[in-house]
Amino acid sequence: MQMSNRTLRNLVARVSLTAGSCAVVALILTGMTSGTAYASQATSKTPPYTLTLHAAQAPTSARDVILTATVSPQGKPASAAANQLAGIAVDFYVGAKQFTGQFDTAPLLLLGKAATGSNGVATLTYSPTWTGKQPLVAQIDSASGNTLASSSTTYSATAASLPFKGTVQSQRPDGTLGKWAAGILLTVLGLLWLVLFGTAVRVNLLLKATHHRYAR
Amino acid sequence: MTREQVDTMETGTSTTMTSRTLEKSIGTAYDGVDPVPPREDIREAAMRPVLETGKWWWTAVITLGVVVLAGIVAWVMQLRDGLGSAGYNNQAFWAIYEADLVAFIGVTYGGAVVSAVLRLTKARWRAPLTRIAEATALVTLPIGMMFIVPHLGESPRIWELVWPPYWNLSSPILWDFFAVSTYLLATVVFFYLPLIPDLKITLERLSAGPDNLKTRTYKKLYTIIGGNWTGSIPQRRVLHGALGLISIMIIPMAVSVHSVLSFAFSSSSRAGYLETIFPVLFVVGALYSGVALVIVVAAAFRKGYRLERYITEKHFVRMGFILIALGAAYLYLTFTEYLVDGYSGTIGNASWVYQTILGRYWIPFWFFVVGAGLLPLVILAFRRTRNVKGVATASVIVLLAMWVKRLVIVIPPATEPLVKSPLNVASANWGTFHFTWIPITITLAATAAIPLLLLVVFKFFPILPVADMEEMAAEAEGLEEDLSTLGVMAAAGDNTSDNRKERKHANV
């Protein structure tokens, strides 16, 4: 059967469209795979360290808590690898109160970072901003090149600090550049409104003028 | 040309000269006369919604009105119970209302920008669609703006957002308010200017009918806003000049509206919102869904008011092609966004991309890919489905899928863990937005408000741009005569089934 040029063109167009659609899906799948790969990379490493977290009230202030995280190589005493335990970065977190008030589903807020000494111990002073039971988590910082290890504990705070010290200011363009930029933008905006209103009014006035001139 | 000849043309006995030709030939001596011959069929079709109020109109208005009322009740309930009753919580602090805001402001683009571009490029086929497109922009923009009200929990203090000294000039929300309100003014002017000649025509038509309260009110209204139109060449020149200016102005204005809206996301430090591609993505997405809405509205009103003769299959096929081009661009931009974030290697981005594509948000994401990406392409690829029904169906799917895409833009980054988690990055501490009846009812009410307001708008104003169409028809007839004189008419048509049918009729 002989195929006309038109039919052939239609066929080519359809095949191109279908191929294009498939290419788009394939490209999105590639992006998806990359995301998945990175996500799994971040979670699949086996920690060679163990971490122990301890929280105790500071001797100097009833409001402060000393968080102590001890790093030790897995299955060995800390003394066996003393030189390797110095300088490991440890992150400390607290479980924040959430809408539901349930700590088990609360997001963890970063309190701060501390590096271990030669004995594998990292300490951080934490001042709770609310009283009561709060979950605490320590984690070896993966950004330092070491693999993840974490430990958690719970602390009951009896005293709390004020969350903010001093006055909190919202960001405003108070600087010279910000003021000028905002001023210029507001002027442009004003001019736009003027042109828009002006055009409508001008058209009406001109129509009125020509109407009186040519009304029959 | 004598005055008598011009007067003869006004009565419709001569329809071959165009306004341009007339302008050249009559100069300024007879420029007080409308040079474009009236077309009774166009006037009758355009005035149908104003003059006819069928039972179906009342049924539609009452039904849609009830849905809108239900939305207002839902909002009052939300005011009483707080944003938690709408499914919001500490993590899902942005959700459905922000998605609605983006989606509803976005759909105004189809009307304003597409109409402006077609006007500037002098696309002849645009004429029957422009009034519907501009009216759609006019009614959807205030509806979109309204979503900021339920989005903010403390609605009675909303004025502080934009009032000095409470306003924050660093906030994208404030600048977005400025951009949207300027765009709204431009949309009103863009709707009003082409309406002026039509109001005079409507006034003349109403004067010929019965004198009752309705016609008296209409006449008063039309005399104030369009009573000075005579259709003379100087008047047409003034109107065309003003329309050209507004058409040029409205395009960058529309672009600024959606790019500034995207700054609310992209100027944050949250993975999934911090995207430099967002301004472009938002603008293209708005155009895409906007064109889809114009198609759907045009299809519905064409059917409802029997406008098949003027809004033809050709219009839908051409709008369908615009839809596909925008869809392909939007899909590519989405792919770019996910690809770059996926490869960035930071835990926040990797986690967000994973959760969106394969994790907890995979259903809405893939619904968008299929609904707004592949289905319209497939529908328009085949001649069998490339018709009014096919294009309208594709547009409905696009609208739904693009709304879902806005949810995918807003919710996953909002619900991601606030800080790096010591647990599994792929599953730990993700928040959840719970859909409740309140935001769903408010969203449905806003959707119902679009056809409701359009029905009301077309109760007052002609649904077709009569003057524009008469001018186009006069020009086309002049052109056809010229072409037929040269014997090249057969080569000038395009290949839609409407045109094929018309040619077949002509041959018979």
Beta-bridge partners for A153: A136
- Asked if B105 contacts B257 with a C-beta cutoff of 8 angstroms, the reply is yes
- Contact (CB<8Å) A110/B249: no
Residue among B93, B170, B260, B386 with most chain A CBs within 10 A, to mutate:
B170
Helix (H, G, I), strand (E, B), or coil: what is residue A170?
coil
Give me the domain span that covers residue B85: 3-27+37-507
Which residue has tokens 């974490």? A150
Report the residue from A21, A35, A215 with minimal CB separation from B342.
A35
- Identify the residue with better confidence: A109 or B454: B454
User: What was the pLDDT predicted at A27?
Assistant: 62
Q: How far is B35 from chain A (nearest CA, A)?
A: 13
Residue in B323, B335, B336 to test binding to A, most A beta-carbons within 10 Å: B335
Report the alpha-carbon angle B433-B439-B442, nearest 5: 165
Q: Is A128 exposed, middle or buried (0-12, 13-18, 19+ CB in 10 A)?
A: buried
Query: Nearest residue on chain B to A169, judged by CA atoms?
Result: B168
DSSP B158: G
Residue that the structure tokens 């661009």 belong to = B329
| Distance, first Cα to last Cα, chain A | 71
Q: Which residues pair with A135 in a beta bridge?
A: A154
Q: Which B-chain residues 224-253 have CB contacts (< 8 A) with chain A? A: 227-230, 232, 234-235, 238-239, 242, 245-246, 249, 253
B424/A contact by beta carbon, under 8 A: yes
Is residue A11's pLDDT more than 80? no
Judged by CB atoms closer than 8 Å, whether chains meet at B419 and A93 is answered as yes
Which of 369-388 (B) contact A at CB < 8 A? 369, 373-374, 377-378, 381-383
Q: Is the pLDDT of residue B375 over 60?
A: yes
Q: Do B185 and A206 touch (CB under 8 A)?
A: no
On chain B, the residues whose CB falls within 8 A of the CB of A203 are: 193, 196, 238-239, 242
Contact list, B341 vs chain A (CB under 8 Å): 35
Residue-level pLDDT at B111: 81
The more confident residue out of B69 and B1 is B69
- What pLDDT score does B454 carry? 95
Whole-number average pLDDT of chain B = 82
pLDDT at site B74? 95
pLDDT at B17 over 50: no
Write out the H or E segment, with its range, that includes residue B243: helix B233-266
Spell out the residues 6+ positions from residue A134 whose beta carbon is closer than 8 angstroms to its own.
Answer: A94, A95, A103, A128, A154, A155, A156, A157
- Best B171, B423, B427, B433 member to test A by mutation, with max A CBs in 10 Å, is B423
Give the mean model confidence (pLDDT) for residues A197-204. 88
Q: What is the mean pLDDT of residues B292-297?
A: 95
Query: Which of chain B's residues have a Cβ under 8 Å away from the Cβ of A189?
Result: 178, 182
Provide mean pLDDT across the span A75-102: 66
DSSP strand pairing (A65-73 vs A49-57) = antiparallel
Give the confidence band of B47 by pLDDT, cuts at 50, 70, 90.
confident
Within-domain flag for B423: yes
Phi and psi (nearest 5°) for B275? -130, 120
Q: Give B307-343 pLDDT, tens digit per residue.
A: 999 999 999 999 999 999 999 999 999 999 999 888 8
DSSP string, B426-442: TTTT---PPP-HHHHHH
Whether the pLDDT of residue B59 is over 90: the answer is yes
Q: What is the distance of C-alpha A176 from the center of its chain?
A: 30
Query: Would you list the domain boundaries of chain A?
Result: 1-44, 49-157, 173-216
Best of A196, A201, A211, A212 to disrupt the B interface by mutation (most B CBs within 10 Å)?
A196
Tell me the pLDDT of chain A averaged across its residues: 74
B84 touching A (Cβ < 8 Å): yes
Nearest Cβ partner for B422 among A27, A38, A139 = A139
pLDDT at A157 over 60: yes
Is the torsion defined by CA of B21, B26, B31, B35 positive or negative? negative
Q: What percent of chain A has pLDDT over 70?
A: 63
Distances from the Cα of A100 to the Cα of A77, B81, B89, angstroms? 42, 16, 9
Q: Do B353 and A28 touch (CB under 8 A)?
A: no
Helix B96-106 to helix B233-266 angle (10° resolution) is 160
| Sign (positive or negative) of CA dihedral B449, B451, B454, B460 | negative
Stretch B387-392: mean pLDDT, rounded? 93
Closest CA to A12 of B385, B330, A4, B329: A4
Q: Do B250 and B109 meet the contact criterion of CB atoms below 8 Å apart? A: no
Q: What percent of chain B has pLDDT over 90?
A: 39
SS3 state of residue A166: coil
pLDDT score, position B57: 92
Within 5-44 of A, beta carbons closer than 8 Å to B belong to 10, 13-14, 17-18, 20-21, 24-25, 27-28, 30-36, 38-43
The b/e string for B456-493 (b: 16+ C-beta within 10 A; e otherwise) is: ebbbebbbbbbbbbbbbbbbeebeeeeeeeeeeeeeee
For residue range B110-152, what is the model confidence (pLDDT) as tens digits?
788 888 888 888 887 888 888 999 999 999 999 999 998 888 8
Summarize the confidence of residues B407-416 as an average pLDDT. 91
What is the number of CB-based contacts under 8 A between chain A and chain B? 198
Whole-angstrom Cα distance, residue B108 to residue B283? 11
Show residues of chain B in contact with A18, CB under 8 Å.
381
CATH of the domain at B242: 1.20.1630.10
- Which residues 325-344 of B have a C-beta within 8 angstroms of A? 328, 331-332, 334-335, 338-339, 341-344
Please check whether residue A76 touches B, CB under 8 A. no
Domain count, chain B: 1
Between B276 and A207, residue with greater pLDDT = B276
Strand partners, A139: A91, A150
Residues 152-211 of A with CB under 8 A from B: 170-173, 178, 182, 185-186, 189, 192-193, 195-197, 199-200, 202-204, 206-208, 210-211
CA distance B16 to chain A (A): 24
pLDDT in tens, B169-185: 878 888 888 989 999 99
Q: What is the reported pLDDT for B76?
A: 93
- The alpha carbon of residue A192 is apart from the nearest alpha carbon of chain B, in Å, by 8
Q: What is the mean pLDDT of residues B101-105?
A: 94
Q: What is the CATH number of domain A49-157?
A: 2.60.40.10
Alpha carbon B24 to its chain's center: 37
Q: Using a CB-CB distance cutoff of 8 angstroms, which residues of chain B are in contact with residue A20?
A: 328, 377
The pLDDT value given to residue A7: 76
Min Cα separation A44/chain B (Å): 9
Q: Is residue B32 part of a domain?
A: no
Q: How many other CB atoms are found less than 10 A from the CB of residue B403?
A: 25
Q: Which of A44-58, A189-203, B79-93 has the lowest mean pLDDT?
A: A44-58
| pLDDT score for A59 | 85
